[in-house]
């Protein structure tokens, strides 16, 4: 769905269709009713208007608060220099340029709101650019303003904007559970490709797509099976644009490589001119995230560049810096909590407070991972008698009601408190705050070749597996999430995972 009315005229002003890739890991729940809104353009305009109003309120409050904190509410002075401007006028300039920059950076684009870290990154980038340009302008025109006022306004505004956007996102995702604020979609392609795209969209959550129909080459059949629901076949390849117009569709997704190839896609783009639908190409670039994909047209030939993952360099140094600073502060503030937990473990059952186990770290190097003991002292010896009750898949061993877990251990595991001593492993460089699950050496010995890529970076205290189901995940899903993280991690993504981890700890799912 387009950001604004541009979707309704997205190829009217251009001879060639506009194409973009859809990340198939972003989608909407499968149990949404069919009576979704008639047009995604409507919800996008409404949602964008609400964001604009709250952005204005937040920025005005942030700039006003910075002004009051610096000078007080009674006597606001004038800024000195060649232009003796009142600080109220300077504040108005900051507010207006800030709002304009947010608009120029497309921070309210329907392609970024409601999912992923892009919305937050664009808000931060727009804010930083605005204040950088203002600082240069004040220097050129010799406007001398209080540095503290300027320094206060930026962080106050960014934090407030991010909080506002996060609250709106929570509201938006809640509305989508009831079938609101969704874009109607037709998926075009061969049956296997269509089923794959539909199942990915229906089994994951986040984006604003709801599939109302499929288009196959011959249009034969009434519906196709995708996951747990049936999708009606609404057209053959030749009449997709007519079906899109008749069904008030917002997006047409081309799955895979339909017969006719690029010529068919080009013609479909032309056919969609004059409708409100945009054309989207789905990519089967498995486990490749958007930041690694770049486009470069060469004389009309669109080339897709996929960056090769790097496992050294400046980004990894920043990751290590974040680990050291965060774990140092966490250990300092959590010391009383750690002491209380240690006492409770000692009172609950005989045995040491800490449990040490050999795990594999980066490049397969082993280290002693530390946890609070959550099982009886004889847990390792009792394992052999429980192997036939294993509920996990692959090389993992998990039992939902493991008899070896102590009373206090069950509480610690539910809220992941048993993992807190691993902050020490992070501080000394054996682990990271975010990363793949740290495997046992015997697990690594039976890894398939590609699974060894999990060991290319340090294991984490939390990670994709932690915020996506934990023990409820199958072995295949756990590997898929870990490999996706290894290939596509970013500092912003780490911060998002850490934030989601707090929610997972408070409302534990799959913890046993």
Q: Are residue 84 and residue 171 in the same domain, yes or no?
A: yes
Residue 336 has pLDDT above 90, yes or no: yes
Q: What confidence category does residue 3 fall into, taking pLDDT thresholds of 50, 70 and 90?
A: very low
What pLDDT does residue 68 have? 83
**Looking at 176, 205, 238, which one is the last position of a domain?**
176
Domain shared by 188 and 318, yes or no: no
What are residue 305's DSSP bridge partners?
294
pLDDT exceeds 80 at position 398: no
Looking at residue 162, its pLDDT comes to 94
Predicted pLDDT at 286:
54
One domain for residues 372 and 493: yes
User: Are residue 373 and residue 408 in the same domain, yes or no?
Assistant: yes
Say yes or no to pLDDT of 333 above 90.
Answer: yes
Q: Phi and psi (nearest 5°) for 113?
A: -70, 140
Number of structural domains (the chain) is 3
pTM of the model: 0.65
Residue 276 domain-assigned (yes or no): yes
- Which of 16 and 384 is assigned the larger pLDDT? 384
The dihedral built from the CA positions of residue 367, 370, 375 and 378, taken in this order, carries a sign that is positive
Looking at the predicted structure, is the pLDDT value of residue 300 above 50? yes
In a domain, 303, yes or no: no
Taking 80 as the threshold, does the pLDDT of residue 243 lie above it? Answer: yes
Task: Give the pLDDT of residue 201.
Answer: 80
Residue 298 lies in a domain: no
- Give the per-residue pLDDT at 40: 64
> The CATH number of the domain where 257 resides is what?
3.40.50
303-325 residue pLDDT tens? 766 766 777 778 889 999 999 99
Residues 196, 107 share a domain: no
Q: Which residues contact 149 (CB under 8 A, 6 or more apart)?
A: 66, 67, 70, 71, 87
Give the per-residue pLDDT at 288. 61
Mean pLDDT of 163-167: 93
Domain end point (choices 109, 142, 176) = 176
Q: Does 412 score more than 50 pLDDT?
A: yes
Mean pLDDT for 150-166 is: 92
**Short-list 221, 248, 225, CA closest to 235:** 221
Indicate the average pLDDT of the chain.
Answer: 80
Specify whether 98 is located in the same domain as 146. yes
What average pLDDT score do residues 172-177 get? 82
Q: Are residues 332 and 464 in the same domain?
A: yes
| pLDDT at residue 24 is higher than 70 | no
Pairwise pLDDT comparison (13 vs 281), residue with the higher score: 281
- Residues 483 and 500: their CA atoms lie apart, in Å, by 19
**Domain around 12:** 5-33+182-284
- Structure tokens belonging to residue 14: 């251009």
> Which pLDDT does position 311 carry in this prediction?
72
| CA 115 – CA 23 distance, rounded (Å) | 11
What is the reported pLDDT for 19?
A: 42
Distance separating alpha carbons of residues 185 and 214, to the nearest angstrom: 9
How high is the pLDDT of residue 383? Answer: 75
Query: Residues 134, 275: one domain?
Result: no
Mean pLDDT for 428-455 is 90
pLDDT digit string, tens, across residues 52-108: 999 999 999 999 898 888 877 666 655 554 444 577 788 899 999 999 999 999 999
- Residue 12 sits in the same domain as residue 47: no
Is the pLDDT at 200 greater than 80? The verdict is no
pLDDT at res. 320: 93
Last-in-domain residue among 176, 204, 229: 176
Q: What's the pLDDT at 292?
A: 67
Q: At what angle do helices 147-176 and 87-104 cross, to 10 degrees?
A: 40
What pLDDT, in 10s, does the model give residues 348-383?
Answer: 989 999 999 999 999 899 999 999 999 888 777 777
Indicate if 217 and 363 belong to the same structural domain: no
What is the model's pLDDT at position 147? Answer: 80
Q: Is residue 77 part of a domain?
A: yes
Calculate mean pLDDT across residues 486-504.
Answer: 85
Share of the chain above pLDDT 70, in %: 78
């Amino acid at each position: 769905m387009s950001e604004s009315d541009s979707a309704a005229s997205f190829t009217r002003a251009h001879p060639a269709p506009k194409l973009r890739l859809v990340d198939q890991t972003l989608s909407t729940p499968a149990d949404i009713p069919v009576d979704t809104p008639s047009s995604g353009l409507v919800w996008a305009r409404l949602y964008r208007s609400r964001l604009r109003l709250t952005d204005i309120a937040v920025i005005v409050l942030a700039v006003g608060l910075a002004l009051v904190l610096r000078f007080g509410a009674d006597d606001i002075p004038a800024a000195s220099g060649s232009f003796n401007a009142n600080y109220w006028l300077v504040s108005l300039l900051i507010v207006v340029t800030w709002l304009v920059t947010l608009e120029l950076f497309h921070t309210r684009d329907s392609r970024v709101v409601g999912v992923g870290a892009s919305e937050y990154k664009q808000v931060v980038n727009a804010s930083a650019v605005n204040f950088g340009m203002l600082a240069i302008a004040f220097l050129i025109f010799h406007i001398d303003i209080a540095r503290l006022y300027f320094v206060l306004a930026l962080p106050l505004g960014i934090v407030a904007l991010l909080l506002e956007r996060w609250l709106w996102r929570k509201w938006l995702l809640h509305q989508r559970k009831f079938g609101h604020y969704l874009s109607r979609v037709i998926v075009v392609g061969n049956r296997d490709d269509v089923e794959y795209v539909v199942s990915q969209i229906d089994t994951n959550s986040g984006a604003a797509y709801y599939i109302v129909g499929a288009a196959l080459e011959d249009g034969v059949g009434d519906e196709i099976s995708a996951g747990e629901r049936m999708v009606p076949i609404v057209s053959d390849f030749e009449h997709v644009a007519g079906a899109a117009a008749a069904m008030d569709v917002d997006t047409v997704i081309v799955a895979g490589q339909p017969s006719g190839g690029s010529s068919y896609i080009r013609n479909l783009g032309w056919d969609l001119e004059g409708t409100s639908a945009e054309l989207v190409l789905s990519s089967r670039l498995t486990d490749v995230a958007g930041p690694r994909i770049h486009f470069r047209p060469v004389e009309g030939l669109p080339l897709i560049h996929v960056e090769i993952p790097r496992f050294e360099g400046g980004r990894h140094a920043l990751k290590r810096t974040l680990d050291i600073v965060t774990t140092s502060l966490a250990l300092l503030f959590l010391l009383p909590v750690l002491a209380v937990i240690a006492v409770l473990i000692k009172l609950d059952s005989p045995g040491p407070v800490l449990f040490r186990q050999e795990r594999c770290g980066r490049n397969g190097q082993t280290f002693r991972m530390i946890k609070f003991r959550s099982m009886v002292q004889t847990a390792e010896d009792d394992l052999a008698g429980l192997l036939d009750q294993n509920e996990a898949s692959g090389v993992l061993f998990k039992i939902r009601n493991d008899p070896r877990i102590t009373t206090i251990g069950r509480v610690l595991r539910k809220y992941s408190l048993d993992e807190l001593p691993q902050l020490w492993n992070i501080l000394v460089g054996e682990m990271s705050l975010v990363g793949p699950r740290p495997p046992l050496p015997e697990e690594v010995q039976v890894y398939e070749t590609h699974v060894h890529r999990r060991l290319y970076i340090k294991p984490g205290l939390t990670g994709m597996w932690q915020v996506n189901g934990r023990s409820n995940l199958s072995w295949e899903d756990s590997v898929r999430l870990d490999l996706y993280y290894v290939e596509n991690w970013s500092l912003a993504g780490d911060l998002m995972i850490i934030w989601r981890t707090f929610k997972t700890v408070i409302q534990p799912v799959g913890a046993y």
